[in-house]
Structure 1
């Protein structure tokens, strides 16, 4: 975790969108993150080929490592992750209609031979692909034992291989094409100025914070009268709290890189991230089940408020400093 933020006096607003700043974000945050995802997902797929049982410690460990890598870059939902709905193919959540267990149940019931054809498997509904589909097959009591064991093994192998293929495609697009588009904006290109490239990263920071506050925490919180702990992300595998922590750690890095040139703002944001991460350490339930109790709810609400405080600082201070705004995103509604 990046903690040391050197303070110097002669920093003024607005922060200039320099090539060095965009380069630093790509070199220190984006490219390593997607390389890690590609490599860890390939390892997971290889493990599944020889060890596909839900109880397999090797497979669960590989799944955890690869899912960690996705969460670390999951806020970068533009460019290569948008192509062919790759981001949703890797992580279809929230699933408000329970489409994932329905899709998996139908595949298992029919013993659909599509699992034996990696290219054809990409035509399966995104609800039946990615990390959350795999979570059901590894950790859900019903889906992990449903139907024929041999077929379930083939399905696990198909999903892990699909995750690896998609992850490598995203990484390849970043390395071979999108990296250059952001480093060298051109007239008529996707990014025509460095400021536009920098705004993309600012939007990713803002949206990542909103996802943590409104979805990862807001969904299980529900209402005081009706908390919804089983709406938490990845609660079956006990990863709900872990996802918030991993995401905030990476968003903190991105915020630090975006504030290069303004030590005072960098320190302010770092302090707020520190507060949120400290509140995470006070939580003891990995799946947010404690929201069903008054004391547990208060602690999760305090964490949510700490994240919203970061987002307010980002919106009110960092955006103007950069001369950009987040605009609207898919979470804002109409």
Structure 2
């Protein structure tokens, strides 16, 4: 019995060493964005700060998972850390623009859509193996068990050992997933240490900027369209975070992030449109963002909301407003500025 306790203490000590190394790496990274006079500077600064905050929140989440397994923190505290990390992730989600090294981390950070409950099935498969998992081993597993979805499953799913009085079983797996997630977030932040758009001329940068917003808007719309499916026949399990009941909250964070990118501290697309004497179009974009957020549903979740007639109607109205925003961006802003939305200008293709 004593030997078994010693082994557990050694495993925990090695896990703590792993998270300490992750912290040290993040602390060595620059905490302020690279400065330049390039047109992309204000957008780059927003992306940099989002990546920095995401790395910090991911690191805190990993630490809180360790704290929970050492019985120093409650499950609710770990859930709060997960929700905060997810909230920050929405600022970077679905953009498909920026440093290639950052984009490479996206699937590892979030596996969605999960049409066949791949995360649930694979998580149960890992837990059935009587072993303590390491960070390196998790990094070699399916992306479905590496990111925010896997952690959500551990914290909220009815099949999770944490919800069935089996903390020891869950703690053979959860710390490794948490640390791997923190390392992925740190790698993403490392990629944003340098502005990836400095080589672009004004026209190429404007195209890249609009594409970034367009991609994020398209991804956000997909998070509504997939679970809505056909009228009268929603598929709520396609919601991004149905287990935690936070899908609508995350969608709102997406829109807030896009609004911030559009304005870019007074030097973004809104400024560019006004500078080109397209103030009326700039006002329509600005008002559309504001009207979407002003009418946002009070509910945080989409799962139960879609299964009522009133909730479905309200979600449909929200979808229509987002599609109008997409129309303005694609068919009026890009045309008005004379740019084409194309491939990622930083990926070397």
TM-score class, shorter? 0.7 to 0.9
Task: Give CA-to-partner distance per residue, 1:165-191, whole Å, 9 cap, x none.
Answer: 01111111110x4x1x312x1xxxxxx
Among 234, 247, 251, the alignment partner of 1:240 is: 247
TM-score, normalized by length of structure 1?
A: 0.82
Taking the TM superposition and a 5 Å limit, the aligned residue runs for 1:1-334 are 20-27=38-45, 29-52=46-69, 56-80=75-99, 85-113=104-132, 115-116=133-134, 118-144=135-161, 145=163, 149-175=167-193, 177=194, 179=195, 181-183=196-198, 185=199, 192-213=200-221, 215-256=222-263, 257-263=268-274, 264=279, 265-280=281-296, 282-284=297-299, 286-327=301-342
Deviation, 1:147, is 9.4
Q: Helix, strand or coil: the match of 2:128?
A: helix
Task: Give distance in 2, aligned partners of 1:276 and 1:302.
Answer: 10
**Structure-2-length-normalised TM-score:** 0.78
Structure 1 residues 137 and 35, CA, compared in 2 at 3 Å: closer, same or farther?
same
Q: Distance in 1 between matches of 2:174 and 2:99?
A: 25
Distance 1:299 1:135 in 2: 26
Q: Any unmatched runs of 5+ in structure 1?
A: 1-17, 186-191, 330-334
- How many equivalent residue pairs? 297
Task: Answer with 223-232 or 140-149: which moved more.
Answer: 140-149
Q: Which has the higher contact order (CA 8 A, sep 6+)?
A: 1
Matched residue SS, 2:66: helix
Change (3 A) 1:80 1:21: closer
CA RMSD of aligned residues (A): 2.4
2: CA distance between counterparts of 1:306 and 1:328?
Answer: 26
Gaps of 5+ in 2: 1-35, 345-349
For each residue in 1:130-171, what CA deviation from the matched residue of structure 2 results, as whole angstroms up to 9, or x when unmatched?
Answer: 001110110000124479532311322111111110111111
Segment of structure 1 superposing worse, 204-213 or 45-54: 45-54
